[in-house]
Amino acid sequence: MSILSGKNILLGITAGIAAYKTASLVRLFVKSGAHVKVVMTPASKDFITPLTLSTLSKNPVYSSFVNEDDDNAVWNSHVDLGLWADLFVIAPATANTLSKMANGGCDNLLLTTYLSAKCPVYFAPAMDLDMYKHQSTLHTFKVLNSYGNIMVPATSGELASGLVGEGRMAEPEDIVSFIENDILQKLPLKGKKVLITAGPTHEAIDPVRFIGNHSSGKMGFEIAKASANLGAEVILITGPTHQKIQHSLIQVIPVISASDMYNEVHKYFENSDIAILSAAVADYKPKEAASQKIKKNETTLTIELEKTKDILASLGAIKKNQFLVGFALETNDELENAKDKLKRKNLNLIVLNSLNDTGAGFKSDTNKVTFIDDEYTVTVFQLKSKADVANDLLNKILEQINA
């Protein structure tokens, strides 16, 4: 999954021959999981049709303040478009449009939207060699950069005039890659390695039966996604679960038993910056697992259990500079038990949730949690989606490691 997944991208198209490439650019944005809307200058419609872009983006294309073809004229609000966008990408960006952007010109919908946008703005210049090298254009680039806009550098190649040189718009694949890399470089967990455990473990009784629990793994998977979206390289070690995730920054390692999880966690912990152990690991396992299916011969069956290795405590005992987070699922004396676990296992933070709270715990898409840090500061949250809980957790971790 791309870092652009789920983002609202507004693509601004101006009247340059490179506008024909924007069909591919829209498709790449959509393929990355982004939501795309297109705003065009009136003259750019001579180079590519709104119908093509509307079909590819699955959204109406905007080019004027009023949809004049409608029986009932509809106002296209540049303010709404600017507020909708998480990113505004202007490609191709002609010398004319760039000059107007630098000087506050707003004689079309694209330019008024630019002046209203609160999001990062990327622009990909496209013009002939002499125009690209002109002092006024170079000055425009400096002014736009001083405003915080981000330039996707033009490349060298054959230009529409027949000249060969700088001024050719970057290829759509390169524009997407540039934006992804730029976003990643600015994310707060860029360069950090985050180790996460998720799901239950299954402890074999015989080849067909096991001891397990009701954990779905949803919480751990949401934490992995939130970590990757902040730029972290994520190792997600997960017990048996139906959860799926695809992200270029997430490596998924499936395991079955508590012993498997212990071994995999210890492979990666030393090189991790943050470890978040949200898995519901079995506390006990059968002392001996039968090699053949146990037959139903007796009225009762006795299985001798032994403790599994305590993964969280083992990491707390060896941690150096790692930030270690544990989870506590309690049914009584919740705060006292969580604080005790925080201290005994040498954690930096513990996430407490109670089975007494409706909508919290296993299987649900929601959770109600309390954070307790190593200074015993307690932060209580209301019921939220597990995705929101994951974001709250990452914000809390960032707050503590940057303190």
Long-range CB pairs of 152-155, under 8 A, 24+ apart, other chains included: 152/91, 152/122, 152/123, 152/124, 152/125, 152/178, 152/179, 153/125, 154/124, 154/125, 154/126, 154/127
The amino acid sitting at 208 is V
Catalytic residue among 76, 96, 213, 263: 213
Both structure tokens of 236: 């997600």
Partnered with residue 37 across adjacent β-strands are: 10
Q: How many CA atoms lie within 13 A of 5 on its CB side?
A: 13
How far apart CA 196 and CA 327 sit, in angstroms, is 12
Both structure tokens of 309: 């290795």
Q: How many CA atoms lie within 13 A of 154 on its CB side?
A: 28
How far apart CA 105 and CA 294 sit, in angstroms, is 80
Angle at 77 between CA 76 and CA 79, to 5 degrees: 155
> CB 173: neighbour CB atoms within 10 A?
11
The answer to whether 36 and 42 have CB atoms below 8 angstroms apart is no
Respond yes or no: is residue 337 known to be catalytic: no
H-helix or E-strand spanning residue 369: strand 369-373
Residue 108 CA, chain-centre distance (Å), reads 34
Helices assigned H by DSSP within 124-282: 129-133, 135-146, 172-186, 218-229, 258-268
Both structure tokens of 365: 């898409």
The answer to whether 325 and 276 have CB atoms below 8 angstroms apart is yes
How far apart CA 165 and CA 188 sit, in angstroms, is 38
Both structure tokens of 127: 């013009």
What positions carry a catalytic annotation? 213
